[in-house]
Amino acid sequence: MLEKSSSGAAWTPFRERNWQLFRDSPFYPALLLVFVVAFWQFVLPHIPFLPSKYVGSPAGIVRSFRELSSQGYEGVSLIEEVVSSVRRVLIGFCIGAVLATPIGLLMGYRKCVGRLFGPFFGFLRPVPALAFIPVILIWFGIGDAGRIVLISMTSFLYIVLATSEGVAAVPEAYLRAARNYRLSSTRTLLSIVLPASLPSILIGFRTGMALSWAVVVAAELIAAQEGLGYMIKDAATFFRINVVYVGIILIGLIGILLDWLFTLIQRRTLHWLSK
Amino acid sequence: MTALLETGDMSIPQSSAREEIAPQPANNKVVVRNVSKQYGSRQVLNDISFSIPEHRIACLVGPTGCGKTTLLNIIGGFEKASAGSAWVDGAQVNGPSPSSGYVSQQANLFPWLTVWDNVRFAVRFGRGLRKNWSSPKEMDARVAAYLERVGLMHARDQYPYQISGGMKARAALGRVLLTNPSLLLLDEPFAALDALTRSSMHRLLLDMFREDHERTGLLITHDIEEGLLLADTLYVMSRWPARIIHRIDVPFGWPRDYDNLVQTPQLGRLKHEVLELLRPILQSE
């Protein structure tokens, strides 16, 4: 079936246009979700070699979520578990970002600083944060301090390198303008270098936040008495598999929410980018 | 030694580059003396000497990549010469100075600032430029006046991505002129613009030069007509290692009226003659 376009210049296949509209709508990615949920609920339980106590089910997850929402987990409400994890991430991330941004700016702006710290941070960045957990446990004990240090370190390493790379990529023409107008070093840094490298800094923030979230859960799996990571580990020990899935889903949703917040900040702050 | 090309009533006074060696008269705004520039083993500029008198506009034309921008950068203090020296206002150039206003092909407006803030940037933060204003109010009044002058007052709150290429060029020009530079360094400032917008920029510049004829400038362009319209002297550069091989005095006086000039048959004839001069250089590429 063909339909004439409004301009009258060309004929657009009606079905193809509808398909394009559907593909761009939020219903399209939801299709996969619906398929996975249906498969999980109706097909997986009937596969003989998969014990249902390991697989769980969407209906069971919903049930567990209701129970957790009303009764909490092991005397701690679900909200408290979530807040506990989010609080650690935010504190750790903020400490990392506050330290990393000025150091990264200096590393990019002053070559001598960049050459001094760059290889060291570059060496640390690919080392998985989990590898530091035993050392941090020894240094800071099993309290919150160690987990926050671990998160700070993770976000710090990503933000510091993203910032210094952003500063190094500031167009020469902008710096030339600064020299032409005899701007002071501080003014050049604040009024030209910082805004010009902001896209890179915010990418570092976004990556740092995503990794911080991943690290907090891992840290709580090892040594914590509350938080989503603790809830998952504890529930798994007693085969409460639907509770484990509730924890995993909440971690994913909060991760998406945090990423969405950063995307929003990026769009607002960097409205001038790529236009 | 000046030779006149036979062009009827309007002819181009031109001379060879060798006549320009060691210029040093007192009334020269810019003096370039035996400047050479080498990048590694590649020599880009070779023993270049010329001068620009006060309140005159000079133009450098030549093949792409011959080193025109390098020469302008040396005069602007953005690069150092390997040999020889550049002088502005009788002082050897050791670095960029706010008395030189630089405009390039990419308007280089800061994309995170509005047109207003871009134009105001230099006078707000530039060392030695801030003291020209007794109060922020006075500064803002001058910014507004310059935005009016370049026809951008209506776009003052827009960001660079929201305005056209011509408007960006106007904003860049306004930003530089507001600093009141005694020397304008124009590095193909309108090369990225379409023909219509470029002609409107030529008109704007000529109007500005008419109002303020105390400006000295150095223009780099590939557009011969642009050079003839805006400059007093054209310097023709060879391929690298570049030398100045012709100096052409443009026989149009000041003030210049764009609409009258573009209609005169002399402009077309002069353009043709300059192109004839450039032909052997371009053919040797």
pLDDT in tens, A227-238: 888 899 899 888
Is A246 a residue whose pLDDT tops 90?
A: yes
Contacts of B179 in chain A (CB under 8 A): 181
The Cα–Cα gap between B231 and B167 comes to 23
State the architecture of B1-97+183-285 in CATH terms. 3-Layer(aba) Sandwich (3.40)
Cβ of A272 within 8 Å of Cβ of B106? The answer is no
pLDDT in tens, A85-112: 899 999 999 999 999 999 999 999 998 9
Is B126 an interface residue toward A (CB < 8 Å)?
yes
Residue B223 pLDDT level (bands cut at 50, 70, 90) = confident
Q: Which amino acid is at A224?
A: A
The Cα–Cα gap between B11 and B274 comes to 11
Residue B6 pLDDT level (bands cut at 50, 70, 90) = very low
Q: How many CB atoms within 10 Å of residue A221?
A: 18
The Cα–Cα gap between B125 and A190 comes to 11
Structure-model confidence comparison of residues A2 and A223, the more confident one = A223
The Cα–Cα gap between B250 and B123 comes to 34
Phi, psi of B110 (to 5 degrees): -80, 120
Which of helix, strand or coil describes residue B261?
Answer: helix
The set of residues, in sequence order, having a beta carbon less than 8 Å from that of B139 and lying 6+ positions away, is B120, B123, B124, B133
* Fold type of domain B100-181: Rossmann fold (3.40.50)
Give residue A101's pLDDT: 95
Contacts of A271 in chain B (CB under 8 A): 159
HSE-CB at A39 with a 13 A cutoff on CA atoms is 6
Is B137 a residue whose pLDDT tops 70?
A: yes
Is A62 a residue whose pLDDT tops 90?
A: yes
Q: How close is the nearest chain B Cα to the Cα of A205, in Å?
A: 19
Q: Where are the alpha helices (DSSP H) in A5-110?
A: 14-24, 27-38, 52-55, 58-71, 78-109
* pLDDT, chain A, mean: 87
Q: How many CB atoms within 10 Å of residue B163?
A: 18
Is B111 an interface residue toward A (CB < 8 Å)?
yes
Residue A2 pLDDT level (bands cut at 50, 70, 90) = very low
Task: Enumerate the domain spans of chain B.
Answer: 1-97+183-285, 100-181
Q: How confident is the model over A46-55, as a mean pLDDT?
A: 79
Contacts of A177 in chain B (CB under 8 A): 102, 108, 122
Q: Which amino acid is at A163?
A: T
In this structure, of A3-12, A208-217, B98-107, the range with the lowest mean pLDDT score is A3-12
Is B100 an interface residue toward A (CB < 8 Å)?
yes
| The token pair that represents B121 in the structure block | 């940037």
Tell me which DSSP letter residue B111 carries. T
Give residue B119's pLDDT: 92
* CATH number of A81-267, picked from 2.60.40.10, 1.10.3720.10, 3.40.190.80, 3.40.50.620: 1.10.3720.10
Is A1 a residue whose pLDDT tops 50?
A: no
Q: How close is the nearest chain A Cα to the Cα of B127, in Å?
A: 5
Cβ of B110 within 8 Å of Cβ of A174? The answer is yes
Q: Where are the alpha helices (DSSP H) in chain B?
A: 68-76, 115-125, 136-149, 165-178, 195-211, 224-230, 258-263, 265-283
First-to-last alpha carbon distance for chain B, in angstroms, is 29
Give residue A198's pLDDT: 94
Q: How close is the nearest chain B Cα to the Cα of A157, in Å?
A: 27
Give residue A123's pLDDT: 92
B184, containing H or E segment = strand B183-187
Give the residue from B110, B120, B175 with the most A CB atoms within 10 Å of its CB, the best one to mutate. Answer: B110
Residue B10 pLDDT level (bands cut at 50, 70, 90) = very low
Cβ of A171 within 8 Å of Cβ of B108? The answer is yes
Contacts of B88 in chain A (CB under 8 A): none
Give the residue from A174, A176, A180, A200 with the most B CB atoms within 10 Å of its CB, the best one to mutate. Answer: A180
Q: How confident is the model over B216-238, as a mean pLDDT?
A: 91
Phi, psi of A82 (to 5 degrees): -65, -50
Is A9 a residue whose pLDDT tops 70?
A: no
pLDDT in tens, A247-267: 999 999 999 999 999 899 988
CB pairs under 8 A between A and B: 60
Contact B248, B236 (CB under 8 A): yes
The Cα–Cα gap between A214 and A208 comes to 10
Contact B61, B278 (CB under 8 A): yes
DSSP A170-196: S-HHHHHHHHHTT--HHHHIIIIIHHH
Give residue B8's pLDDT: 36
Structure-model confidence comparison of residues B75 and A216, the more confident one = B75
Separation in Å, CA B121 to CA A18, A271, B27, B124, B175: 50, 20, 32, 5, 8
Residue A139 CB-density burial (10 A; 0-12 exposed, 13-18 middle, 19+ buried): exposed
